[in-house]
Amino acid sequence: MARRTLDREPNWRNGSLNMVFRIAAPVMLMAMLFTACGGGGGGTPPDATPPTITSFTATPSTINAGQSSTLGWTVAGALSLGLDGGVGDVTGLASRQVAPGTTTTYTLTATNAAGTATSSVTVNVLVPSSVTRLIPPALTDPAIATYLDSHVAITPDPAVASRHGLFLYLVGTGGKPVNQQLILGTGAARGYHAIGLMYPNTPSVGSLCSNSADADAFWNVRGEIITGQDLSSLVAIPATECVEHRLVALLTYLAATYPTEGWDEFIAAGQPDWTRITVGGHSQGGGHAAVIGKLHAVARVVCLSSPADWRNIPDAPATWYARPGATPADRVFGFSHLQDELVPWSQVTLIWTELGLDAFGGSVSVDGAAPPYAGSHRLTTDIAHATAPLYPSPFHSATVVDLVTPKLGDGSPAYRPVWVHLCFP
């Protein structure tokens, strides 16, 4: 019996061993396959591959500022798509429209479990140094029916830091903003918005008031031209035709039509934000600039070949110069030609004294000098005007009018440093 037991034991053990191998072999094979497929070990299936981007384009690839371009792509094997440049997730899309303000490179990223693929494309944006527009006054308000020569509006040069300021320029008697753009362009190049405003500018204020017995004739006529209030029997300026209404209408039109250009900065509660506005003008316009400075606290007042208001009886400056004003004298400046045919130096120097400009030193010639001209607010010149046959009173206009202001060898205005110092610090 014992022998049989011994004989059977190996058979039992062999059977058990065979059973163990029969069970263990499949388990080991499954484990090997599981490991090979990445289960638990972080591997990659043999047939898995990263996505591919076969095309990524921008149409058009070059645009003007304010225009748009369409980005389009062809991608295979991606579970998700992302587009930088402020766009974000574009999974499931094949294109996206963009409107960058400056030249921008966009990168498309395609992703799946096996990895990522990227591709980049650049949209070139052409940004002009500044934009000059001629705006008919009636376009800003159909109620404006007189003095319809175009306003000029120029945006700041985007290559320089914005000054967040507006230069409002008023032409002289019979003048047109389109003929006096050099000073406006100088302001734009310095980072200012600039407007040459067309307004009721004939006849001259002097011809209406110089011989008037009313000591306040100049003040009242200018006040009506500026505000549209019925202040004088010598003029009849409806509210829709006055300087202030035209300015508000123009700024409102520009802000609505070109909302990205910043014109809305200069309107507050439907009125000009005078604190951001430098008011300059030539001749009659310079007188208006000084009166606006009396009425409102403006950034600066710049009088070119002006003011000219002079009472023939009793042969003295107009009374309004001595009126207290909202803009202090340290923000008021004058620039005149010593040979001015219409506003003689003997008168304008007395007028500037009445405006309080003597507090900042005597008159200083800009000829051959450089800013800050000893800090004076009374600047003069005596150089020749540009040649312009038959042009009336060229010395009077030489301080600013495009045709007769003197030019340097490169064609730039000789008085550009003066304009910058006075108007665009």
Q: Which of 102, 126, 150 is the last residue of a domain?
A: 126
Q: What is the mean pLDDT of residues 84-91?
A: 90
Domain membership flag for residue 74: yes
Same domain, 152 and 88: no
Task: Indicate whether 365 and 233 sit together in one domain.
Answer: yes
Alpha-carbon span 38 to 42, nearest angstrom = 5
* 244 in a structural domain: yes
User: Residues 12-30: pLDDT tens digits?
Assistant: 344 443 444 344 444 444 4
Give yes or no: residues 177 and 304 share one domain. yes
Task: Looking at the structure, tell me whether residues 291 and 347 fall in a common domain.
Answer: yes
DSSP state string for 186-212: HHHHTT-EEEEE-----S-HHHHHTT-
CATH of the domain at 88: 2.60.40.10
pTM confidence score: 0.75
**Same domain flag for 90 and 220:** no
* pLDDT classification of 323: cutoffs 50, 70, 90: very high
65: confidence class by pLDDT, cuts 50, 70, 90: confident
Is 41 inside any structural domain? Answer: no
- Does 234 lie in the same domain as 118? no
Domain presence at residue 241: yes
| Structural domain total, the chain | 2
Together in a domain, 156 and 284: yes
- Which one of 126, 144, 164 terminates a domain? 126
The phi, psi pair for 37, rounded to 5°, reads -85, 0
Q: Is residue 302 part of a domain?
A: yes
Same domain, 109 and 223: no
Residue 44 covered by a domain: no
Question: pLDDT tens across 336-393, in order?
Answer: 999 999 999 999 999 999 999 999 999 999 999 999 999 999 999 999 999 999 999 9
> What confidence category does residue 31 fall into, taking pLDDT thresholds of 50, 70 and 90?
very low
How many residues belong to the chain?
425
HEC letters along 328-384: CHHHEEEEEECCCCCCCHHHHHHHHHHCCHHHHCCCEECCCCCCCHHHCCEEEECCC
Last residue of a domain, one of 73, 92, 126: 126
User: pLDDT by residue (tens digit) across 143-184?
Assistant: 999 999 999 999 999 989 999 999 999 999 999 999 999 999
Residue 21 lies in a domain: no
- Residue 45: the pLDDT is 53
Same domain for 120 and 156, yes or no, is no
Q: In 10 A of CB 97, how many CB atoms? A: 10
153 and 192 Cβ atoms separated by less than 8 Å: no
Q: Is residue 400 part of a domain?
A: yes
- Of the CA atoms within 13 Å of residue 39, those in its CB half-sphere come to 8
**Domain extent for 352:** 132-423
- Give yes or no for residue 423 having a pLDDT over 90: yes
Regarding whether 141 and 81 lie in a shared domain, the answer is no
pLDDT in tens, 243-288: 999 999 999 999 999 999 999 999 999 999 999 999 999 999 999 9
Q: CA 47 to CA 77: how far, in whole Å?
A: 12
Q: What is the DSSP letter of 264?
A: G
Let me know: does 113 contact 48? Beta carbons within 8 Å. yes
Q: Are 114 and 161 within one domain?
A: no
Q: Looking at the structure, do residues 73 and 109 belong to the same domain, yes or no?
A: yes
pLDDT at 21: 38
